[in-house]
């Protein structure tokens, strides 16, 4: 099992309790997507293709979708290997990694995105790109924990045993 799926399974009971008793929009999902499941709109925001929502996709790129508000308040963490990055459309790669997207080294990177909502459009914008030298999967999972306001699950604070069950 990969670290994203392990994290979602670990945090899911807390998320479900918050959803049931406090915030009906509170949600945490793991899914695998394909490169074509994401696109860039005319406002340079990243969106899911019209064919569905995160849980409906079936691919091998790990993604965590965290929602904590109705119209605003959602974040994504996407784990991209070098092979996955080669399959991204040029527009999506540019939006994720900037003009030098083709210079990224081999290995895994984590794209951390926040939802933005405007009067005429909405979608996800890059918050940060993290690689193993700048925090790796720990920073990606802490990003999701911070967005959900669940500091108990922050790996760098060591309040849970989550760091012992991750790969």
Residue 132 has pLDDT above 80, yes or no: no
Of residues 132 and 76, which shows the higher confidence score? 76
Chain segment 5-25, per-residue pLDDT in tens: 999 999 999 999 998 999 889
Instruction: Give me the domain span that covers residue 27.
Output: 3-165
| Cβ-based burial of 167 (10 A; exposed 0-12, middle 13-18, buried ≥19) | exposed
| Alpha-carbon gap, residue 71 to 52, rounded angstroms | 17
For the chain, the C-alpha Rg in angstroms (whole number) is 15
pLDDT band at 55 (very low <50, low <70, confident <90, very high): low
- Burial class of residue 38 in the structure, from the number of CB atoms within 10 Å of its CB (0-12 exposed, 13-18 middle, 19+ buried): buried
Average pLDDT, rounded, for the chain: 85
Residue 165 has phi, psi (to 5 degrees) of -100, -5
DSSP E strands in 68-150: the ranges are 74-80, 109-117, 122-130
Q: For the chain, what is the domain count?
A: 1
- Among the listed residues 15, 30, 8, the one whose alpha carbon sits nearest the alpha carbon of residue 68: 15
Q: Is 84 helix (H, G, I), strand (E, B) or coil?
A: helix
């Amino acid at each position: 099992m990969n670290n994203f799926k392990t994290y979602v399974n670990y945090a899911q009971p807390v998320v479900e309790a918050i959803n049931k008793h406090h915030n009906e929009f509170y949600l945490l999902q793991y899914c695998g997507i394909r490169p074509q499941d994401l696109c860039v709109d005319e406002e340079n925001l990243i969106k899911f293709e019209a064919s569905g929502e995160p849980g409906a996709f079936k691919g091998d790129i790990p993604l965590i979708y965290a929602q904590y508000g109705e119209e605003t308040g959602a974040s994504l963490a996407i784990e991209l290997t070098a092979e996955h990055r080669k399959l991204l459309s040029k527009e999506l790669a540019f939006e994720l990694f900037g003009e030098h997207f083709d210079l990224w080294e081999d290995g895994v990177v984590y794209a951390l995105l926040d939802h933005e909502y405007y009067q005429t459009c909405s979608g996800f914008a890059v918050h940060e790109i993290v690689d193993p030298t700048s925090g790796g999967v720990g920073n990606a999972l802490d990003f999701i924990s911070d967005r959900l306001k669940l500091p108990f699950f922050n790996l760098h604070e060591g309040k849970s045993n989550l760091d012992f069950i991750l790969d």
